Structures are given as structure tokens and as C-alpha cells.
């Protein structure tokens, strides 16, 4: 098959303006940074490993973390999520969060990612003496420091290139336990007899309210997310938090269809009115409709399954709900996609679904935005039109920390820069 974009190589991808809208702070901190922050804070990583039962560390070296925590492969989503609690131990103070956020932003900006939305679960970072706004402030200031440095160029100051910008997304958790930090430990202790669903619903509402409070304080908080294990922890439990965000005009996204079927995605977009979906990999998996029944209680027929999925696909496409697609991450959490050539990515394009190509977790997945674009070009033989839709679509889907007029102006500048840069690439490489 002839490659459509044979003039686009890795260096060319880096030149094009891109976004990363699905970017977890704690999953994007390198082993080197974890070790460095632990040393600065006097944290014994070997002791942490034993206490949490994660990694079975013996030395706590960078090399050992790369082998036992930041692994090359994972058996499933559950195993993939384990390292986060270990990493978050060094992210519960201002200095740790500030430095981690700064380095993450630098990593993105250095590969031509012009806009990022960094997401984090504030309840995982909270501890006595380190409050909610301090958490938001530390991360915001860390990224802003990087943006100021990268925006201090003649090309950006003159308007020849678009600025580096960012927003923050606060995450609530579907599934919680007392090992996820002090907040959840106290939540368990103070609410005797309450089940996990009620506790997580209560906690998610607190995150939604914090999202609005941070916006009112002037921080670039642009969205609310629900993350964590889907199976047995449905999004509709958190409908109150999503309705609150809807009423406040807060952008909403939701992890759905990553390791559970179309029903999870439908709950996110219809019960919770999410404007974006994290992953959505199971969207076309008709055989993975587990609970939906007909009026008489029987399982859906083959044609009914087809109609059920088609309804969701049409709803997503017509309402311009964006899928935050993370290819490398999907290959690690879903065994069936070890070979990504079978990924539903082409079906998203075929059904005119907006895609925001993202990394998920730069460190845990050992991936960059450039890697993801290179992967999409090589695996799916996308066209020049597809490439532009991917790059610009991310900016259009952004929740953006400004007015609609400001967003449109910024996007127009990005499009002009994209067109100019692509022509220069073609002139050089063809």
C-alpha cells in the first residue's frame, strides 16, 4: 500500500502544532523525577514499595523503577493502574507538584505540542497542611513557568507562531480505597457502613465543587473528569457531579469504553452529558454489551446490538463529542490491541468522529505525542486531510481557559501556522 504521507517524518511531526487533551500528571512523571523528588523530600521508596505492596523494590534506583514500576508491558488495565499510587507519594507537597508539572509541560512544549490539558485527582494529592487551592496553584504555576519560558521567543511575541497554552482538568475517581491517600483514608474512617459507590459519589461531588471554586479564584481549570476502573463502577453514579458541572458551564470528559463495552460510553454521554470521552476503545464492540435487555428481559439480538451501538455512534458524531484516543496506552491495557493494526481508529475516521490524539500517561506508557502521530500515520495510512483534522481537531475540542472569541482567534492562528508549516515541510521533503 502506498503511504499517503511519505513526506511526513518524525521531525516534521514535531514542527506541526498539536495538542494533548488526555494527559495525566501522575502518569507522566519520569522515574528520574520520582527518585529525585523522593530524595528531596526524604522519602524512602523501598519502604513505600513495601507499605503499598507495589514493585517489591530493593534499591529504589531509577533503573529498578524502570523495570518494576514503569514497565514495558502490562497484563490489563488493573495492573496498569497500580503504579499511580506509588508515584503519588512524591506528589503531596507544593515543591513536588510544581516541579513535576513544570517538567511535564517542558516535555510537551519541546515537541511542538502547543496546548495541553493536564488532569489530576486533587484528592490523591491532599494531606493535612497542604490544601486544595495549594494543590491547584502548585500545578498551575509549574506549567505557567514552562509556558512563559517557551513563549519568550521572537516568533511567538511577533504573532508568527501560536502561543503555548494550557488548561487543568480535575479528576474524580470511580473506584476508591484507603490506600489512595489521606483523603480517602479519612473518608473511609469517618463514614462507617457506607458502600463504595456512595463514598465515591460523595467524593466526586466535592471535586466538581472544587473545580468551580478554582475557576472563581482565577486558575485555568477548564474541566472535570471521572477516571478509574469501569467494571462495576458505572458513570451514572456520578450524575449529580456532572449535572453540577453542566449547570456551571464546566467542560466535562469521562473515561469510558477503555476496558468496558458500549454501555459505559452511553452512560457517559447520555446520563452524564460528557462532552468528551477518554479512550472510547470499546465503542464498536457489540459483543461487549453485557446488561442491556429487551422489554421482556431477554438479551439483545444481533440486529438489536447493532442498532444499540449505531445509536451511540450517531449521537457522538452528531453532537461533536470528541474521543481522546491514546493508542500506545490501549495496546498496554487491552491485550487484544497488542497489535494496534486492529484498533478501531479507522472506524472513528469513517464515522466522522472527532479525535484528539493523546498520550494518556507519558511515563507509564513510555510515549510522546510525536510517537502517537507517527504510529497513526504508519498503522492507518492516514491522508493529509486526516492529519490536519487530527491536529486541528484537538484545538477545537479543547475546553480552553478563555472566552469563545479568544478560543476562535487562537485556533485561527493555529490553522494559519499549520498550513504554513505543512507547505514548508512538503517543499523540503518531497
Query: Taking the domains of the chain in order of start, what are their residue ranges?
Result: 10-29+91-429
Angle at 98 between CA 330 and CA 146, to 5 degrees: 80
User: How far is Cα 335 from Cα 333, in angstroms, rounded to an integer?
Assistant: 6
Mean pLDDT for 261-286 is 95
Q: Provide the mean pLDDT of the chain.
A: 94
pLDDT digits (tens, 9 = 90+) for 289-317: 888 888 888 899 999 999 999 999 999 99
Backbone angles phi, psi at 361, to 5 degrees: -140, 100
| Spatial CA neighbour of 21 closest among 277, 386, 283, 286 | 277
The pLDDT assigned to 180 comes to 86
pLDDT of 287 reads 87
Rounded to whole angstroms, how far apart are CA atoms 386 and 372?
A: 14
Q: Sign of the CA dihedral 46, 47, 50, 53? A: negative
Q: What's the order of all strands across the beta sheet hosting 113-120? A: 18-24, 113-120, 165-173, 221-227, 251-256, 276-279, 322-325, 355-357
Lowest mean pLDDT among 10-14, 191-195, 372-376: 191-195
Span 214-223, average pLDDT: 98
Residues in the chain: 430
The pLDDT-based confidence of 193 (bands split at 50, 70, 90) is low
Query: What is the rounded distance in angstroms from the CA atom of residue 335 to the CA atom of residue 331?
Result: 7
Is residue 240 predicted with pLDDT exceeding 90? yes
Structure confidence at residue 72 as a pLDDT band (50, 70, 90): confident
> pLDDT band for position 321 (50/70/90)?
very high
pLDDT surpasses 70 at 30: yes
Enumerate the β-bridge partners of residue 168.
118, 221
pLDDT at 296: 85
- pTM of the predicted protein model: 0.95
Task: State yes or no: pLDDT of 113 exceeds 80.
Answer: yes
What's the half-sphere exposure (Cβ side, CA atoms, 13 Å) at 310? Answer: 6
Position 290 scores a pLDDT of 83
pLDDT in tens, 202-216: 999 999 999 999 999
Tell me how far apart the alpha carbons of residues 179 and 200 are, in angstroms, rounded to a whole number. Answer: 14
3-state secondary structure the chain: CCCCCCCCCHHHHHHCCEEEEEEECHHHCCHHHHHHHHHHHCCCHHHHHHHHCCCCCCCCCHHHHHHHCCCCCCCCHHHHHCHHHHHHHHCCCHHHHHHHHHHHHHHHHCCCEEEEEEEECHHHHCECCECHHHHHHHHHHHHHHHHHHHCCCHHHHCCCCCCCEEEEEEEEECCCCCCCCHHHHHHHHHCCCCCHHHHHHHHHHHHHHHHHHHHHCCCCEEEEEEECCCCCCCHHHHHHHHHHHHHHCCEEEEEECCCCCHHHHHHHHHHCCCCEEEECCCCCCHHHCCCCECCCCCECCHHHHHHHHHHHHHHHHHCCCEEEECHHHHHHHCHHHCCHHHCCHHHHHHCCCCEEECCECCCCCCCCHHHHHHHHHHHHCCCHHHHHHHHHHHHHHCCCCCCHHHHHHHHHHHHHHHHHHHHHHHHHHC
Give pLDDT, residue 21.
98
Asked if 271 contacts 315 with a C-beta cutoff of 8 angstroms, the reply is no
Over range 159-166, report the average pLDDT: 95
The pLDDT of residue 192? 67
Lowest mean pLDDT among 1-5, 150-154, 283-287, 331-335: 1-5
> What confidence score (pLDDT) does residue 2 get?
58
Q: What was the pLDDT predicted at 71?
A: 85
Backbone angles phi, psi at 232, to 5 degrees: 85, 0
Q: Which CATH superfamily is domain 10-29+91-429 in?
A: Metal-dependent hydrolases (3.20.20.140)
* 223 pLDDT above the threshold of 80: yes
pLDDT value at 1 more than 60: no
Average confidence (pLDDT) over 324-332: 96
Amino acid at each position: 500500500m502506498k503511504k499517503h504521507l511519505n513526506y511526513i517524518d518524525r521531525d516534521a511531526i514535531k514542527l506541526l502544532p498539536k495538542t494533548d487533551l488526555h494527559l495525566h500528571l501522575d502518569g507522566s512523571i519520569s522515574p528520574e523525577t520520582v527518585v529525585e523528588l523522593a530524595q528531596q523530600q526524604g522519602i524512602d521508596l523501598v519502604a513505600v514499595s513495601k507499605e503499598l505492596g507495589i514493585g517489591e523494590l530493593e534499591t529504589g534506583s531509577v533503573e529498578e523503577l524502570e523495570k518494576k514500576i514503569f514497565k514495558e508491558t502490562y497484563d490489563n488495565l488493573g495492573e496498569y493502574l497500580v503504579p499511580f499510587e506509588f508515584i503519588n507519594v512524591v506528589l503531596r507537597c507544593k515543591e513536588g507538584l510544581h516541579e513535576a508539572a513544570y517538567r511535564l509541560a517542558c516535555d510537551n512544549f519541546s515537541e511542538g505540542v502547543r496546548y495541553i490539558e493536564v488532569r489530576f485527582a486533587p484528592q490523591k494529592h491532599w494531606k493535612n497542611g497542604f490544601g486544595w487551592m495549594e494543590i491547584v496553584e502548585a500545578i498551575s504555576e509549574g506549567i505557567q513557568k514552562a509556558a512563559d519560558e517557551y513563549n519568550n521567543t521572537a516568533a511567538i511575541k511577533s504573532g508568527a507562531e501560536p502561543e503555548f497554552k494550557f488548561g487543568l482538568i480535575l479528576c474524580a475517581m470511580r473506584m476508591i480505597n484507603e490506600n489512595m491517600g489521606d483523603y480517602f483514608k479519612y473518608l473511609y474512617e469517618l463514614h462507617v457502613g457506607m458502600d463504595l459507590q456512595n463514598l465515591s459519589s460523595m467524593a466526586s461531588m466535592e471535586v466538581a465543587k472544587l473545580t468551580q471554586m478554582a475557576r472563581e479564584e482565577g486558575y485555568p481549570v477548564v474541566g472535570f473528569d471521572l477516571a478509574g476502573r469501569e467494571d462495576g463502577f458505572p458513570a451514572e453514579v456520578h450524575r449529580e457531579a456532572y449535572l453540577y458541572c453542566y449547570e456551571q458551564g464546566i467542560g466535562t470528559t469521562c473515561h469510558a469504553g477503555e476496558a468496558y463495552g458500549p454501555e459505559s460510553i452511553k452512560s457517559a454521554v447520555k446520563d452524564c452529558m460528557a462532552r468528551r470521552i477518554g479512550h472510547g476503545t470499546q465503542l464498536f464492540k457489540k459483543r461487549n454489551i453485557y446488561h442491556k435487555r429487551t422489554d421482556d428481559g431477554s438479551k439483545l439480538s444481533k440486529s438489536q446490538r447493532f442498532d444499540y451501538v449505531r445509536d451511540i455512534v450517531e449521537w457522538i458524531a452528531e453532537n461533536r463529542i470528541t474521543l481522546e484516543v491514546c493508542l500506545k496506552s490501549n495496546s498496554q491495557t487491552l491485550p487484544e490491541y497488542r497489535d494496534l493494526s486492529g484498533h478501531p481508529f479507522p472506524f472513528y475516521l469513517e464515522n466522522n468522529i472527532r479525535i484528539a490524539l493523546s498520550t494518556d500517561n507519558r511515563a507509564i506508557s513510555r510515549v510522546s505525542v510525536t510517537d502517537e502521530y507517527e504510529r497513526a500515520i504508519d498503522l492507518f495510512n492516514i491522508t493529509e486531510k486526516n492529519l490536519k483534522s487530527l491536529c486541528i481537531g484537538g484545538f477545537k475540542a479543547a475546553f480552553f481557559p478563555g472566552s469563545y472569541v479568544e478560543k476562535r482567534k487562537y485556533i485561527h492562528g493555529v490553522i494559519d501556522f499549520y498550513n504554513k508549516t505543512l507547505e514548508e515541510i512538503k517543499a523540503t521533503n518531497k
